[in-house]
Amino acid sequence: MIRTYVDFAARQWQPLLFGALIIGLSGFGQAYFISLFGGRFRETFTLTDGELGTIYALATLLAALTLPLLGPLIDRTTVRRYAWRVAIALAGACLLVALSPTAFVLAAGFYALRLTGQGLMVHTAVTATARALPADGGKALGLVVLGSTVAQAVLPVLAVSIMERIGWRWTWGLSAGVVLFGAWVALAYLPREAVKRETTGHRMEGLARSRGLSIWRDPRLLVPLPALLAVSFILSGFLFHQARLVAEKGWSLAWLAGWFVAYAGAQALANRFAERTEGT
């Protein structure tokens, strides 16, 4: 099985590299990255753990509600243009957090980070990969997700190290530059065929709208939905308050960030095990 993935990656490395880099950049809008600054946010804006968590939860909810409105726009333009716009918006979100003078502006920054990073960046990577490699979509996405795994291992360590040297605001400002540079590198590997406009976009969009309500009555969605939601709620809650956990335990934030390497490795192994189980 590993040999199959290696051969496939060697043949299709360009679209896979693009997807992996883009999905890796989504880390700047993920809970594991934002939460590293929780202590600084509470101190700067005089927020309690509950207040900061509430702001983040509301921002995430609003971002989730906005995502279905902006996601389909990728069908009306090229992947290249869409990816650039999302990257610029994510960089702007990083700058908004860096320059936020009040908790209200910070909340707006959270909303923008969750929408563009956790939402649209992942959406762009998945859509572009599925379009470029329609016959091997599952295998391709399994490899592209490794970009997120690498980001989970690298970003926390770098963020904590840089934050301790130049402060949390400058770290977010630097993150904006990393997003733009990373998008520029990723787009250099976007295959020409993946740049073409999706001609069936409007037809598929209409089909999705026609099934939008009926899918919520499908037991195949409703039965596993509570379990799927529970995992997201528990994991996001734990990760978002990890800075408080570190403070209560008397641990170093840098020490905790280092363990994200093990976390990313364990997640990658679990994903590969799941794929093998599904294939048997």
Rounded Cα–Cα distance for residues 29 and 119 (Å): 8
Question: What SS3 class is residue 223?
Answer: coil
Question: Where residue 238 falls among pLDDT bands split at 50, 70, 90?
Answer: low
Does residue 118 lie in a domain region?
yes
At residue 125, what is the residue type? A
Question: pLDDT digit string (tens) for 170-203?
Answer: 999 999 999 999 999 999 888 765 444 444 444 4
Does residue 152 lie in a domain region?
yes
Say how far residue 241 (Cα) sits from the centre of its chain.
Answer: 18
State mean pLDDT over 55-84.
91
Question: Where residue 224 falls among pLDDT bands split at 50, 70, 90?
Answer: confident
Check pLDDT > 90 for residue 269.
Answer: no
> Cα–Cα distances in Å, from 59 out to 39, 44, 228, 251?
18, 19, 20, 29
Does residue 63 lie in a domain region?
yes
Check pLDDT > 60 for residue 252.
Answer: yes
State mean pLDDT over 88-105.
96
> Cα–Cα distances in Å, from 127 out to 22, 28, 159, 268?
11, 19, 28, 21
Q: What pTM was estimated for this model as a whole?
A: 0.80
Question: Where residue 46 falls among pLDDT bands split at 50, 70, 90?
Answer: very high
Does residue 40 lie in a domain region?
yes
Does residue 107 lie in a domain region?
yes
Domain that holds residue 149: 14-196+225-279
Q: Which of 27-36, 91-100, 131-140 has the lowest mean pLDDT?
A: 131-140
Q: Are 56 and 180 in contact (CB under 8 A)?
A: no
Looking up residue 144, the CATH number of its domain turns out to be 1.20.1250.20
Which residues touch 203 (CB under 8 Å, ≥6 apart)?
Answer: none
Check pLDDT > 90 for residue 92.
Answer: yes
State mean pLDDT over 73-95.
94
pLDDT at 240: 67
State mean pLDDT over 237-250.
72
Question: Where residue 129 falls among pLDDT bands split at 50, 70, 90?
Answer: confident
Split into its structural domains, the chain has a count of 1
Does residue 7 lie in a domain region?
no
State mean pLDDT over 152-180.
93
Does residue 208 lie in a domain region?
no
Choose between 201 and 248: higher pLDDT.
Answer: 248
pLDDT at 29: 92
Instruction: Count Cβ atoms below 10 Å from residue 6 Cβ, excluding itself.
Output: 11
Does residue 216 lie in a domain region?
no
Rounded Cα–Cα distance for residues 115 and 67 (Å): 7
pLDDT at 214: 61
